Amino acid sequence: MLYEISTLSCPLLSIEDVSQRSSSWVSDAQATGKVLGSWRTEIGTLGRLMISRSFESADVLAAERRRALLSANPFNAGGVVTSLSMESYTPFPFLPPVQPRAFGSVYEFRTYHLMPGGLPPTLLGWENAIEPAAEYTAHLVINMYALDGPPRITHIWGFASLEQRAMLRASAYGAGVWPPHGGPEHIMEATSTIALPQPWSPLQ
């Protein structure tokens, strides 16, 4: 199983238009992959729509990537979007596949750029921390490492509110079960984006 995060940038007032256009793109008869979620950014860089999909194999993902790259109207929004990125990921092997369900109305996307060689200890630290921090990690949608570009991981979390997120993180930190031991030492740069699910997103 592979995952993709597509990010479409557009003028602020065009975000709903881009959302509807991209919804028709990923649900088209030619489309491959399973739509997991779609979100618009709320805190962080604004004017961005993110779409997550899963693919059964690298060949299937590559075919869908080519469909976008060779289209004069990618995601049916070619005349509106100002930039488009498509990132490929492999999930952490000890995490279950993403299943569409209701996590809450607030999602967080965290990306950590890792030092070279930092992925193995990061994987080990996360594997050891998932169960001890279960109250917090129950809100983890997925964590995955990039197959292209610089070494990095991206994890997605779902919460009922920003207050719930802050409470759970404070509790896990206070108990000493988070962050994963051996992981932060390998982070070179970290970014966080708060995003809200679109009405057509399977993850809500």
Same domain, 100 and 86: no
pTM for the model stands at: 0.96
24: domain CATH number is 3.30.70.100
Q: Which pair of structure tokens corresponds to residue 121?
A: 């200890």
pLDDT of residue 91: 98
Cα(55)–Cα(14) distance, integer angstroms: 28
Q: How far apart, in Å, do the first and last CA atoms of the chain sit?
A: 22
Q: pLDDT (tens digit, 9 = 90+) per residue, 91-102?
A: 999 999 998 899
Same domain, 186 and 108: yes
Q: pLDDT (tens digit, 9 = 90+) per residue, 21-40?
A: 999 999 999 999 999 999 99
Domain boundary residue, one of 64, 90, 116:
90
How many other C-beta atoms lie within 10 A of the C-beta of residue 11? 12
Give the CA-trace dihedral at 33, 34, 37, 41, to 10 degrees: 0
In a domain, 55, yes or no: yes
Same domain, 77 and 110: no
Strands 83-91 and 2-9: antiparallel
**Is the model's pLDDT at 196 over the cut of 90?**
yes
pLDDT of residue 182: 87
Q: How confident is the model at residue 43 (pLDDT cuts 50, 70, 90)?
A: very high
In a domain, 204, yes or no: no
Same domain, 115 and 59: no
Same domain, 49 and 131: no
Domain boundary residue, one of 32, 57, 90:
90
Domain boundary residue, one of 90, 121, 145:
90
Same domain, 105 and 178: yes
Cα(22)–Cα(173) distance, integer angstroms: 38
Cα(56)–Cα(61) distance, integer angstroms: 8
DSSP string over 69-115: HT-SSGGG-TTT-SEEEEEEEEE-TTSPPP------SEEEEEEEEEP
Which domain covers residue 50, as residue numbers? 2-90
Q: Which pair of structure tokens corresponds to residue 128?
A: 């050891």
